[in-house]
Amino acid sequence: MANTNYPSASSQSSGPSSRTPNSNNTGRNVLIGLLVAALLGTWGYILWSKNSPSAPGSSESSSTEVATAMSESDSLRQMFNLAEMRLDSITGANNSLQGEKTALQKEIDSRKAEITRILNDKNATASDLQKARHLIGELNGQIGKLEAQVAQLRGENQELTAKNTHLTQEKDVLSQNLDTRTKENDALANTVDVGSTLSASGMTITPLKEKKNGKEKETSFARRVDILRVSFNVENRITTSGPADLYVIVTDPKGNVIQNAQLSSGSMTTRQDGDRNFTAKVPVEYEQGTRKGVSFPIQNPDGFIPGDYKIEVYHNGFKIGEGVRSLRKGIFG
């Protein structure tokens, strides 16, 4: 009940005078006890005054009636104070458990206002005081209903809290299962990815000289070599049919990777050897489950020199084959 004039259960006073909920409850209980004792004493005095013999019309009788009226007013005020304290003890909880002011709370506020008006009226008649007593009785009955409401709301709140805790635990379990499934799927996808890497076999590296008539002749002398023809077979049972890119690295006897713009030379990231420059990018149209022959020429713009040429082939970031071919120094260089 956000609009109620009573303090919310969640509000706390600050400063040196603030007390814990236990100390507040203890102080309230002590005060209620004192008020009850005073109320009982007042009622006893009223009963004694009414039963005490006195002559009708005497000044003593008038004084007794006035005192009795005052005592009855004080008694009603104490009864009202007790009802208010009882109400205050549950209003805070009701505020925190229910957002809007209920019809019952509005009725209670209305009766409180009427009782306060009568008790603050110095000219209140016995009839007015009787009405106040009746209203206080009704107020206590409504407070009892409000207590029942608060108890019900507390029970529902505890039930919702338990359900929320259960749902949170289920969510955590589902989240853990999802994480596990995700990791398993990632691991499976990685396994399939690695497993789909082509393998190369039967590599041959043939140094060739190109004749004017377009024919090629094999030679082992470095100064006569125009191209190195690299040939090998690729295959894989998992890889689906379609295009695949092979990357070829040719390293000359000085340890330099041959670069040729006509062969789409560039750099790549491998899974095991880091970033590397490659000599040629060779597209292959692969058919699943078959062995496919691959053959391509390697040209060096700077020419070939005597020594060992190392050829490495990569697919899917993995090295799948390599070979070495030596070129000899000719008689004239």
Region of residue 20 (phi > 0: left; psi between -120 and 50: alpha; otherwise: beta): beta
Residue 80 and residue 75: Cα distance in Å, rounded?
9
- Asked whether the predicted pLDDT for residue 308 surpasses 50, the reply is yes
Q: Where in the chain does DSSP place strands (E)?
A: 199-210, 216-218, 227-235, 242-251, 266-269, 275-278, 280-286, 292-299, 307-315, 318-327
What residue type is 76 in one-letter code?
Answer: L
Structure tokens at 142: 């409504």
Exposed / middle / buried, residue 94 (Cβ in 10 Å: 0-12, 13-18, 19+): buried
Model pLDDT for residues 296-306, shown as the tens digit of each residue:
999 999 899 99
Structure tokens at 271: 């899974």
Model pLDDT for residues 113-169, shown as the tens digit of each residue:
888 888 888 888 888 888 888 888 888 888 888 778 778 888 888 888 888 888 888
Residue 330: band (very low, low, confident or very high) from pLDDT cuts 50, 70, 90: confident
Asked if 314 and 278 count as a contact pair (C-beta separation under 8 A), the reply is yes
Asked if 111 and 138 count as a contact pair (C-beta separation under 8 A), the reply is yes
Of 304, 313, 309, the closest CA to residue 333 belongs to: 304
pLDDT score at 246:
94
Asked if 258 and 252 count as a contact pair (C-beta separation under 8 A), the reply is yes
pLDDT score at 3:
40
What CATH class is the domain 199-327? mainly beta
pLDDT score at 98:
52
The DSSP output letter for 331 is T
The DSSP output letter for 274 is -
Of 12, 7, 156, 26, the closest CA to residue 90 belongs to: 7
Residue 181: in which H helix or E strand, if any?
A: helix 126-195
pLDDT score at 2:
39
The DSSP output letter for 317 is T
Residue 40: band (very low, low, confident or very high) from pLDDT cuts 50, 70, 90: low
Residue 90 and residue 147: Cα distance in Å, rounded?
7
Residue 44: band (very low, low, confident or very high) from pLDDT cuts 50, 70, 90: low
> What mean pLDDT do residues 227-250 have?
91
pLDDT score at 26:
55
pLDDT score at 35:
58
Residue with tokens 């330099």: 256
**All structural domains of the chain with their residue ranges:** 21-169, 199-327
Average pLDDT of the chain is 77
Higher pLDDT, 279 or 120: 279
- Asked whether the predicted pLDDT for residue 19 surpasses 50, the reply is no
> What mean pLDDT do residues 48-53 have?
54
Model pLDDT for residues 62-111, shown as the tens digit of each residue:
445 545 555 667 777 777 787 777 777 666 555 554 544 567 778 888 88
Largest CA distance in the chain: 159
Asked if 252 and 307 count as a contact pair (C-beta separation under 8 A), the reply is yes
Burial 244-281 (b: 16+ CB within 10 A, else e): bebbbbbbbeeeebbbeeebebeebebeeeeeeebbbe
- Asked whether the predicted pLDDT for residue 4 surpasses 60, the reply is no
Residue 104 and residue 304: Cα distance in Å, rounded?
101
Chain center to CA of 88 = 38
Model pLDDT for residues 172-211, shown as the tens digit of each residue:
888 888 888 888 777 776 766 677 888 899 999 999 999 8
